[in-house]
Structure 1
């Protein structure tokens, strides 16, 4: 079965599978606040429900993240996107791609799905406006052929958000 996000992915390496099973077990014992892992039989793709934090622009709103793990996770970052409809946010494109440095250049194998989720929620929570990135339409049009956000040359110019 191939996914719609580009070429078919390679199966997880033994290291990646072991690491993900461990992360999943830890998640079940101690899930990050505001997140729910939706069980699937596919260790390589997680769907995670995100609940907007109380007192923020996204309070009481629910979104879904799709996390796809590469063959060499955690040496390589997972691909994390919001499923439709993505939250309105200056760093989240309408196709669900997220402009967040830890998902790309600043990824570290010490990070976990939980820590990534917490960073995404914190990015959502700190937003003061609900709007798309300025270049949303152009970017989404360029991604139409199923490009992965990991193929984008991101420009992280705003450290405050």
Structure 2
């Protein structure tokens, strides 16, 4: 019997193959139900016009109850977008990947949200604690307790 995670991912992948992705989002590769890669590009006028970034999604057996580990792929010659919520190692500080994750969100919905986050950016800059965070960051961004600006005290 297939797990809830693998059934859900199989459904999402089938929808991507049959319906396609929104404009500017493309599935590059899906390694079964463990790791998927997408490219995202901001459409229209923005600070990132003409830039294309690669996102990596890693799924644990608790998906969709728990969020996927999502980060921008950083390799030689490819950097994460310079954005106030994106660290130079590709980790993303976004509440939908943390305390506001909901099982109703899909992989494509996360891509659209991150595409929108880039499109609405007014100032290309790294998070203020980028250097310190990157020095001590875990491999898996889900192991980080991010503080979201909209958190209430």
Q: TM-score scaled to structure 2, two decimals? A: 0.89
Alignment of 1:42-53 (within 5 A): 42-53=32-43
CA distance in 2, matches of 1:41, 1:55: 33
1:16 aligns with 2:34: no
Count of residue pairs the alignment pairs up: 145
Post-superposition offset of 1:25: 1.1
Post-superposition offset of 1:62: 0.6
Segments of structure 1 that go 5 or more residues without pairing to the other structure are 1-12
CA distance in 1, matches of 2:56, 2:31: 14
Post-superposition offset of 1:149: 1.3
CA distance in 2, matches of 1:75, 1:120: 20
Alignment of 1:112-151 (within 5 A): 112-143=106-137, 146-151=138-143
1:31 aligns with 2:49: no
- Among 68, 82, 88, the alignment partner of 2:58 is 68
**Hey, which bits of structure 1, 4+ residues long, moved more than 4 A?**
none
Deviations 1:79-119 (A, max 9, x none): 00000110000100000000000001110000000111111
Deviations 1:30-62 (A, max 9, x none): 312211101344331000011122201111111
Segments of structure 2 that go 5 or more residues without pairing to the other structure are none
CA distance in 1, matches of 2:69, 2:92: 10
CA distance in 1, matches of 2:90, 2:29: 21
